[in-house]
Chain A
Amino acid sequence: MAQQVNSGGFPLKGLFTGMKVTFLELLKKPVTVNYPKEKEIPVARARGVIALDTEACTVCMLCARECPDWCIYIEGHKEEVPPAKEGGRVRTRAKLDRFDIDYALCMYCGICVEVCPFDALFWSPDYEYSEFSIADMLHDKERLTEWLATVPDPPALET
């Protein structure tokens, strides 16, 4: 048996309360942001797009493998780096050739950012990167690096 809801007061009071609410709303300024003309500035830590720090990336492929949509494409090769000291051993390091994210596939889960062990991926608040063709949503590492400039500094460590 459903419980009878009685907020007290005279009958049909709810109808007039509703009309009062809508009338007050009518007098308020609408919340609409007229997008192309005026822009909403998202909060600094908004999750708009994923930015890449190519210097930090070690081509470990963890992000590409963890990505649920398989929207990250990484290619790289190894190159030799001269030894740090004279007579030392020649080092090899991985060099990033291609780092593309297909934003038509990406579902913005952020697992790649979480999983990156070298802090190469970041959330950026930028959101204006739509394209007319869905194929153009595949953004390369140059584009991803541009967004790095919009990434806010990490919060200060707790002391």
Chain B
Amino acid sequence: MNFWLELVVKTVLVLILVVLPVALVVIFGELKISAHIQSRIGPYFAGGRFGWAQPLADGAKFIQKEDLIPAGADNPVFRFAPYVVLMGTFATFVVIPFGPDLAAENLDVGIFFLLAVSSLSTLGVLMAGWSSANKYSLIGGLRAAAQLIAYELPLVLAALAVVIQAGTLSLSGIVEAQANMEIFGLGIHLPYVLTGQILSFIIFTIAALAELSRIPFDMPIAESELTMGYLTEYSGLRFTMFFLGEYAAMISLAAVASTLFLGGYYLPGLSGDALKVAGPFILLGKTLILCFVFIWMRWSWPRLREDQLQSLAWKWLIPLALVNIVVISIFKVVL
């Protein structure tokens, strides 16, 4: 096939057919779950039943809104920032394996690519905060940068523990290593979260929540003190981009976490051929379960103050992740 045609087909397949519908499902899930947690009904009328069309209606509303650009804003940077955020998020889906042979690109250094590319979104956030010519946006952008630097470390260190146990940087390799993993020769193949990586999983989940700047760690957005942080000056389609990017990032990090710790497309008891068909759905199911946990945490827990947020990363998560790596390495050598 023509290279460019293939590129376009792959991009359209991944973005339009997988990421956007799942993002809409997760947005709808967030609306409904948050409502029921607060003993409300949530969206009810849009689309006839259960308000299923609410995310679509919200999107249509945002698109109609005026695209405001502040007079003092750095115009090209301000316009470009949302796309950088989206780009960094969507690029992570390139290496996630949806099945034994089903990955947009099965890189040998998949997890390295993934961690490198997901940091690109931070740049977009910083661009948005800096170019808005607004003090709230600037503080939000800088807080986001500080937060993402702090939480990138435990995230990478937790992923590193998995890499040490699997002995490969390829994401497909990590899933296969989990499928072939045996503890004490019992013949049971369990995902990593049940075989020694529970601490890595917890660290990864907390760091992922912080990377997403969702509620327990929402200092960059911080509605109560920074109005909306780096999103303050955005409206219309560009705000939609950020909004979609947030949920796409949530899905991508949930997919990465399920690949690294929950066995990805692998489910114990299924053989090779069955996995080829069911793989994407298994991964999707695990991703959605993790997204539910993220949403559940968001609506249960109080927010951290900026200094608490930094001390949690530097004083607790990073030392813990380092100790975890040492323990995993010792087990790797001894067993």
Contact = CB atoms under 8 A, between A and B. Distances in A.
Interface of A: 15, 18-19, 21-23, 25-26, 28, 30-32, 34
A18 B301 contact: yes
B44 interface: yes
B24 to A, nearest CB: 21
Interface of B: 33, 35-41, 44, 296-297, 299-301
20 contacts: A15-B301, A18-B300, A18-B301, A19-B301, A22-B299, A22-B300, A25-B36, A25-B37, A26-B33, A26-B37, A26-B296, A28-B36, A30-B35, A30-B36, A30-B39, A30-B40, A31-B40, A32-B40, A32-B41, A34-B41
A23 B296 contact: yes
Contacts of B33: 26
B37 A22 contact: yes
Please report whether the interface of chain B is mostly helix, strand, loop or mixed according to DSSP: helix
A19 B37 CA distance: 10
Contacts of B300: 15, 18-19, 21-22
Please report whether the interface of chain A is mostly helix, strand, loop or mixed according to DSSP: helix
Contacts of A30: 35-36, 39-41
Contacts of A18: 300-301
Contacts of B44: 34
Contacts of A25: 36-39
A32 B296 CA distance: 21
Nearest to B302: A18
B40 A19 contact: no
Given A15-B300, A31-B40, 18 more contacts: A15-B301, A19-B297, A22-B37, A22-B300, A23-B296, A25-B36, A25-B38, A26-B33, A26-B36, A26-B37, A28-B36, A28-B39, A30-B35, A30-B36, A30-B40, A31-B39, A32-B39, A34-B44
